Amino acid sequence: MNRSGQFYGASLQKLPPHAINVRGWTLMEAEALSKSLDELNRETTLHLLLHRGNGIFGAALLRHLLHYLCVFVCLAIGQQTWRRTRVRELRD
């Protein structure tokens, strides 16, 4: 470990038990932060892909496909709800 508290080329899983607490971070906290940053990076990448306004055909196509998928799912849920309501009314 160097003087700033960083390990040279060591991943968190390879740390010895006595080195789990580095600068006040436990191994679990550091892993959770790493996972959170990975998720944030994925969400940011998807957001940039879907909402960039510079006319990328692939992004526009993907945005439209996702829109139609959402509309289709909402219509399917509505239709199922209507069917269940109709069947209950016919039973009564």
DSSP per-residue string spanning the chain: --TTS--SS--GGGS-GGG--BTTB-HHHHHHHHHHHHHHHHHHHHHHHHH--S--HHHHHHHHHHHHHHHHHHHHHHHHHHHHHHHHHHH-
Which structural domain range is residue 78 located in?
55-92
In a shared domain, residues 9 and 30: yes
Query: Do 43 and 13 sit in the same domain of this protein?
Result: yes
Model confidence at 2: pLDDT above 50: no
60 with 43, same domain: the answer is no
**Domain identity same for 61 and 46:** no
The answer on 63 and 29 residing in a single domain is no
pLDDT value at 8 more than 80: no
The number of folded domains in the chain is 2
Q: Based on the fold, state whether residues 15 and 38 are members of the same structural domain.
A: yes
Shared-domain flag, residues 67 and 82: yes
Min mean pLDDT across 1-5, 29-33, 37-41, 67-71 is at 1-5
